[in-house]
Structure 1
Amino acid sequence: MSTDRRIVLFDLFGVIACHQRPGALAEMAARCDVPTDAFTEAYWACRPPYDAGQGSASEYWAAVLRWLSRTADAGTVEELRLADIDSWSRVDGRMVAYVRSLHNLVEVALLSNIPSDHADAFRAAQPWLSDLDHVAFSGKINAAKPDPAAFHHCVAAMRAAPADFLFIDDREENVRAARAVGMHGHVFTGLDELAATVETWLLSDSCTW
């Protein structure tokens, strides 16, 4: 059931913000004196609990370094943590401008898979996030997409119905998960296509869209 509200719910990385800076993992691998492929495997294999707020940054990096048979001393952990945050810090200026302009017309929210300490740094660097109607970071809400709990958090926090939302993400599995809980969904491929989709949705009867 819809409450006839219109809420555009954005993913962050790959939509508004850029994916991880090219070469960043190789630089971190070199810091650990291990091959990039091995570092990349450990980096992603240990990531889910960190993204979902079920482990701290120190616990995450200790797990990565154990995987690589390296010592998890405090200096190395902090250096890797800061390098990691920096590698995810870039935004797409055109998309930020679009999101801000859209917020003048409808409710706009954000749902991102991002660790808690990354979220704090991103908020500090991007003050426009404070203007949105709701911002949900996985590391803060203890649920990461495509877990249905992440979407249910946004529904409950905004006191809305799932059908009130149009969820935008560059990963099809996340869009499928949003649709499974009753949201509308769009796989992001570019701003022009997105703008046309949003315009059509805003003019439509949400029950038939």
Structure 2
Amino acid sequence: MANVIVFDLYGVIARTQGDAARRRIEELAGVAGESFWEAYWACRPPYDAGQDGTAYWTAVADRLGVRFADIPALIAADLDSWCHVDPAMVELIHELADRGHRLGLLSNIIAELVPVWESRHSGWLDRFESLTFSCRVGVAKPDPRAYEICAERMGVAPGEVLFIDDREENVVAARAAGMKAEVFVSAEQVRKLAGAPAR
């Protein structure tokens, strides 16, 4: 039975960007397709580690060789695309906390999104003993230090942690840091890993 469980946020508890949201961002940027999203993700690590939104979108524009007409609108649309949850996972978080599991969160997240999550989702975020956000600690997964900081904040050794993430590279890095880690599949998978009764 896993007592200390640390979750990734996006792709596990939170939903990733939907197609409509991605189209809205492309419309605001005036650039669409693979080249836009390559630049979007290539410039993301400093943003996840604490860079401000204007600097991020300026870097994206520079990489594409364009100028964005309305960066505040891009920031707002981007934030809105990253703040929706999977109800089944929220239910599981409450279930695990009620059963006495110690829960932590380790997420690559931009600074502007943190208050959005805290204002909209405080009810279940309060079930976590520790929230380790990349933008607040200055390092992002798969940097080994991110996992070390997370374990330190939970007051445990990395080997005591079961870490759940949807990205293979982050799971591999967590294992290298000493954690037990699994690629996320479903709420039922996590329920079994935690030793909770199946639904």
TM-score when normalising by structure 2:
0.91
C-alpha RMSD over aligned residues = 1.6
Residue 134 (structure 2) aligns with:
138
- Structure 1 portions without partners, runs of 5+: 201-209
Aligned structure 1 segments of 4 or more residues deviating by more than 3 angstroms: none
Residue 96 (structure 2) aligns with:
102
Residue 122 (structure 1) aligns with:
117
Residue 22 (structure 2) aligns with:
25
Residue 204 (structure 1) aligns with:
none
Q: Does 1:11 align with 2:2?
A: no
Q: Does 1:186 align with 2:189?
A: no
The aligned runs of 1:1-209 (5 Å cut-off) are 6-53=3-50, 55-72=51-68, 76-104=70-98, 105-127=100-122, 128-199=124-195
Residue 112 of structure 2 aligns to a residue whose secondary structure is helix
Q: Computing the radius of gyration over CA atoms, which structure comes out larger, 1 or 2?
A: 1
Residue-by-residue CA offset, 1:4-59 (whole Å, 9 max, x unaligned): x9310001111111111223232222222223322212111111110122x21110
Change (3 A) 1:38 1:26: farther
Give the Cα–Cα distance (whole angstroms) in 1 for the partners of residues 22 and 36 of structure 2: 7
Residue 143 of structure 1 aligns to a residue whose secondary structure is coil
Give the Cα–Cα distance (whole angstroms) in 1 for the partners of residues 29 and 170 of structure 2: 32
Residue-by-residue CA offset, 1:120-152 (whole Å, 9 max, x unaligned): 211211112123100111111111111111101
Residue 125 of structure 2 aligns to a residue whose secondary structure is helix
Residue-by-residue CA offset, 1:80-122 (whole Å, 9 max, x unaligned): 0010010111100110010111012210010011111112211
Determine if contact 1:8/1:165 at 8 Å carries over to the other structure.
Answer: yes
Residue 106 of structure 2 aligns to a residue whose secondary structure is strand
Residue 15 of structure 2 aligns to a residue whose secondary structure is coil
Give the Cα–Cα distance (whole angstroms) in 2 for the partners of residues 12 and 162 of structure 1: 19
Identity in percent? 40
Give the Cα–Cα distance (whole angstroms) in 1 for the partners of residues 114 and 148 of structure 2: 20
Deviation at 1:65, TM superposition (A): 1.8
Change (3 A) 1:72 1:32: closer
Change (3 A) 1:59 1:114: same
* Count of residue pairs brought into register by the alignment: 193
- Structure 2 portions without partners, runs of 5+: none
Determine if contact 2:29/2:74 at 8 Å carries over to the other structure.
Answer: no
Match for 2:158: what amino acid?
P
